[in-house]
Copies of this chain bind each other. A is one copy, B any other.
Amino acid sequence: MAGEVIMVQSADIIVRASEGTWDKTPDGNLRRILCYTDELMMVEFAFEKGGEGWMHSHPHVQSSYVAEGLFEVTIDKRTEILKAGDSFIVQSGLRHGVKALEKGRLVDCFTPHRADFLST
C-alpha cells in the first residue's frame, strides 16, 4: 500500500532445508531463521543430546513443532516429554524451556517476529 511503512522484509519467502545461517544461541544450541514478515517468524532450533533451552519468557506468542528428536518441555509449571510430530504453544509472557533427551530439532513460529533475533 502506498505510504505503508515496511519494518521488516524477509530475505526470501521460500527457504530450503540446506539454506540459511546457523547461529549459536546464548544457551549453546543452534538457531536458524527460516522466513518471516513483520507479523510472523519461523525459526529452526537444533539441539545436541543434553542441550537445554533455558527457561525464559518473551512477549511473543510461540508455537513449536518437534521436527526430530525427543524433548522434555516445560511450560510454566507443567513438564512433559514430546517426540517428533508433537507440538506445543506458549502464550505471551509465559515461562518455558526445553531439554533435548536426544539430538533433535524444533521448528518455532513467533508472532510478532523476533526483532531480537535479527539484531544479534
A: residues with CB less than 8 A from B are: 10, 13-17, 34-37, 39-40, 42, 61-63, 65, 67, 73, 75, 78, 80, 82-92, 107, 109, 111
Tell whether, in the assembled complex, residue A37 and residue B86 are in contact, meaning their CB atoms are under 8 Å apart. Answer: no
Which of B15, B34, B65 touches A42 (beta carbons < 8 Å)? Answer: B65
Residues on the B chain within 8 Å of A73, using CB: 14
Which of B37, B67, B89 lies in contact with A40, CB distance below 8 A?
A: B89
Chain B residue contacts of A86, Cβ below 8 A: 14-17
Query: Which of B14, B85, B87 is within 8 Å of A35, CB to CB?
Result: B87
Contacts of A87 in B (CB 8 A): 14-15, 34-35, 42, 107
